[in-house]
Amino acid sequence: MTQAFSMSNDTRAIKLYLVLRALETLAYYKQVTAPRPPFLAEDRYNRMKRLLPSMIISFVAAEVLPLSLAIFLRDRSTDDPSLPAVLAALVLILLTFILGALSHDGLDESGGKTKMIAFNADHLQERYELISLIFIGEICFAAGRPSNDEDRTMASAAALISAFGAYLLVFTTGSAGQTEFWVRSIKHRFFGIIMYVGLFCSIPAIGAGLVRVLEEDDASEVDGETEHSLSCNLSAADLLCYASGAFLIFSSLLNLSNLEATKEISKAKIGIWARVFVRLACGFICLLFSLLGGGMGCAGDIPSPTFLCPLLMLTSAIIEIWAVRSVTVRRSK
């Protein structure tokens, strides 16, 4: 995704998205109109068939029409799509997602309707965590830039610290015995899923922000040869500050949606509200870096936030790991 942001303009990305979604909808149509496979339960197969009309209607109304309008009303000089139409599509997609998940489907034994969640919580939890892990791995691509420049090497190390801190915050900061939002209630699931959407947007943006810093190049002639080094452009670190702050804020709210066990069970040294406060504070500090702009200064030829944001992520993770004792060392006698 980091490479896709830099290799394609917005209009082309929208066209490719519509093609992908059209193929996905066609694949679903072929699946539910084909004979039922033996491994698929009959009641689930019937529910999938009943979802087809609403899926096609929502695809056309919430995605095809507004995004086609965004392409039609694009800026002819820059080829940028219409932003209001894109935002309208995003709102409509979110509404159809919420309405679909809250839909009532299925029949109980007496023939009456029974409430049924339209998604499998266990399946989604596994997939969302897997997607998070893949996106965190994408940050490492920002570090993969061979160079003899010492500053660029240090910036690559900062990218690896960001990836490591993000991994610790997502996967190792839960307290023992906590009840995750997936099994609490429908409203907690919705809230958690929306927070995951924030994570899915902010994690690739961290990688894109680091790439932007590493692409600031300053060429100079030395003994008849051209040498390249990093150029300290403080505005180049703005995306990294915004993305790091958003990640810390969304992940802290995601953690808050889980139900903390009693202190006797969790063994946590500090409560969940204190841990959330630490992570939120680090997130708002990252956002503050972008507002300070030129006042942040440079570390060598690298904007200071390139190091400070990853260090804040790692510091927050270390504090929370210490607090919940998720990493322990057993000593053999």
The 10s digit of each residue's pLDDT in 20-79 is: 889 988 998 888 888 888 877 887 788 788 888 888 888 898 889 988 988 888 877 777
More confidently predicted of 116 and 263: 263
Residue type, 195: M
Q: What is the mean pLDDT of residues 90-97?
A: 80
Contact in structure between 242 and 40 (CB atoms under 8 Å): no
The helix/strand/coil state of 293 is helix
Distance CA 239, CA 23 (A): 33
Per-residue pLDDT, 106:
42
Q: What is the mean pLDDT of residues 281-298?
A: 80
- For 192-257, the DSSP string reads HHHHHHHHHHHHHHHHHHHHHHHT-EEEEEETTEEEEEE---GGGGHHHHHHHHHHHHHHHHHHHT
Distance CA 142, CA 158 (A): 10
Per-residue pLDDT, 1:
39
Contact in structure between 211 and 220 (CB atoms under 8 Å): no
* H or E element that contains 165: helix 150-171
Q: How far is CA 73 from CA 61, 78, 91, 93, in A?
A: 17, 12, 18, 20
The model's confidence at residue 2, banded by pLDDT at 50, 70 and 90, is very low
In terms of pTM, does the model score above 0.85? no
How does pLDDT run across 172-228, given as a tens digit for each residue?
A: 888 778 888 888 877 788 788 888 988 998 998 898 888 887 776 554 444 455 454
User: Is 164 exposed, middle or buried (CB count within 10 Å of its CB: 0-12, 13-18, 19+)?
Assistant: middle
How does pLDDT run across 215-260, given as a tens digit for each residue?
A: 765 544 444 554 545 566 667 778 888 999 999 999 999 988 888 8
φ/ψ region of 81 (left if φ > 0, alpha if ψ in -120 to 50, else beta) reads beta
Strand partners, 218: 229
Contact in structure between 116 and 106 (CB atoms under 8 Å): yes
Per-residue pLDDT, 113:
47
Tokens of 241: 């500050």
